[in-house]
Amino acid sequence: MSYVIGIDTGGTYTDAVLLDTEKKGVEAIVRKAKAFTTHEKLENGIEQSMGELNLTPDDTSQIEKVVLSTTLATNAIVEKKLHKVGLIVVGDMPRGEIASQYIESVPGRINIKGRALVNVSRKATEEALKRLLPHVGAIAISGAASVRNPMQEQEVKQIVQENCDLPVMCGHEFVSELGFLERTNTVAINAGLLPIINRFLEAIKNVLEKMKIDAPIFVVKGDGSIATEDLIREKPIETSLSGPAASMIGTINLTGIENAIVSDMGGTTTDTGIVRGKRVELSSEGAEVGGWRIKVKSAKLYTFGLGGDSEIAIDDGGLKVGPRRVLPACRGGAGNMTPTDLMHYTREFIAWDSELAEASVRAYASRMFVTPDTFVKAAEGAVTEKIYEENISLYKDLGFPVCAIGAPANTWYKKAKAEYEFDLIIPPNYEVANAVGAATAGIQETVQAIVRPGEEGHGFLVHADKERFSLMDRREALKKAYQASLEYAKQKILDQNLEIDQIETECVDVYMDAGRLIYKRIDLAEIEEEILEGEDHSGQFVETRIKVSANGKNFI
């Protein structure tokens, strides 16, 4: 027998579950626990929730791994608590606001085909670095079109490493798509997160040591997969929005459902995403966190301000719910009113002081010149209306059932269903679904390569994750792109001391026809040497996109 501990740090609660790896779904949950999230030091809430699992020495000896879903990176970005980063831009500056105040530009330029037009200057790079070093704790490097040929970013990185001992990272190491500003901000923000995630992971290791748990740490990423502690230390930005992704993975495992709208109602917000074919639907645009567009793989989410601690305010004779979060009256928030207080008044949920909640209800009812029961009914209606209008109604055309999870979900989504008819599923253990998702998430690394027509229409260019090739034969170009992506995806799994479990490949031809992009899936094994133009894929060939995903399992 072996166990996995899954932990989720939400805005209000930190949840923990102990799962039996030999069982599936609800049957796998051995114990579950909740504690308040301690925002200043997340590890304190984690230690408290793990303590509530009442682990025996026999339990701790059989723990295979500990998996965390954490708000740490998201909070640091939103609250602007990033550490200072020096940004070296190779060539022209990106247009738009940049996530660093310490910026230097050095000579260099790569065109869209990946050919160097202006060379890197060692002298200029060393001088730029000298100006940055007194002010920063890490260096980020970004150049336009570096994803078409990373050689200039790599050259600047080598110069920097020869001249300082600070962490150094490049844009192409994080993003394989065009989008200069987003790529630049992604690498700059990641560099600013390094000390924060390192301190947190060290604190977690101390917690595990104190509890006599000798198990590796994994962290959930924004796409719902997990990565080892070492990888997250290098790329903490990939944990952005990991909580909502974990909630969808947890829902899949608790229900076995194929397609669903997953609504995770927490203390502050409700996050809604889509599950299709038992997979989390990802955003093609990356994620938006704290006003920054960052290019990381993340769940496609809609977030709105409604949770158990959302303020219910009297507004022009009516009631307004959220988005502001307040301390519920039942927890000592004198003069406040929240959905949690309403549940204490109706006795549907009692965890704190019901008398304080009742006093607040009476005060609000008096201000509206109605009875307390009338006020509660109106307030409940305002909450359920917001659930439906700002959430469920947006997805009704999909025809998928709504899976509601999170501590307040059982009460409020059932009330919403009674008022607005829709297909609702409340999974068992809905209140700890995020932690279940953390514990059951898989390991996947994805690499993409692009094959495009060569310069002036001669041959083909392969833009792989770390290199660029020029080949005359299309079949050879596709083979080279696939092999480069396969090897790098496999290496990313092996670098985490994991065993390669499964390889998935997706190949798509892209054509332009009358101003529209046309996508056609192709089988790499059946590729013809020439690009065919005709009924199946008319228009001008733009590129072939090859995506290779490697899944990992267990420790070797």
What pTM, to 2 d.p., does this model score? 0.83
Q: What percent of the chain has pLDDT over 90?
A: 63
Q: How many Cβ atoms are within 10 Å of 254's Cβ, its own excluded?
A: 24
pLDDT digits (tens, 9 = 90+) for 522-546: 877 655 444 444 445 567 888 899 9
319/29 Cα distance (integer angstroms): 40
Please give the pLDDT value at position 556.
31
**pLDDT(364) > 90:** yes
Whether residue 269 is predicted with pLDDT greater than 90 in this model: the reply is no
The pLDDT tens digits for 80-135 are: 889 999 999 999 999 999 999 999 999 999 988 888 899 999 999 999 999 999 99
Across 131-145, 395-409, 458-472, 478-492, least confident range? 458-472
Inform me whether the pLDDT recorded for 144 exceeds 80.
yes
Tell me what the mean pLDDT of segment 202-221 comes to.
94
Q: Are 472 and 445 in contact (CB under 8 A)?
A: no
SS3 per residue for 3-48: EEEEEEECCCEEEEEEEECCCCHHHHEEEEEEEECCCCCHHHHHHH
Predicted confidence (pLDDT) at residue 555 exceeds the cutoff of 50: no
Distance CA 536, CA 20 (A): 50
Reference 247, options 52, 54, 431; nearest CA is: 431
pLDDT at residue 523 in the model: 79
Predicted pLDDT at 531: 45
pLDDT at 506 over 80: yes
Count of residues making up the chain: 556
In whole numbers, what is the pLDDT of the chain averaged over residues? 90
Query: Is the pLDDT at 75 greater than 90, yes or no?
Result: no
> Between vectors from CA 354 to CA 350 and to CA 358, what angle results, nearest 5°?
135
Residue-level pLDDT at 532: 44
Contact yes or no for 86/134 (Cβ under 8 A): no
Question: Among residues 408, 73, 384, 82, which one has the least CA distance to residue 245?
Answer: 73
Q: Taking the domains of the chain in order of start, what are their residue ranges? A: 86-191, 443-555
Average pLDDT over residues 61-88: 91
- The predicted-structure confidence for 405-463, as pLDDT tens digits, reads as follows 998 999 999 999 999 989 999 999 999 999 999 999 888 888 889 898 987 778 898 98
| Structure tokens that stand for 133 in this block | 């070093």
What one-letter code names the amino acid at 176?
S
CA distance 484 to 43: 40
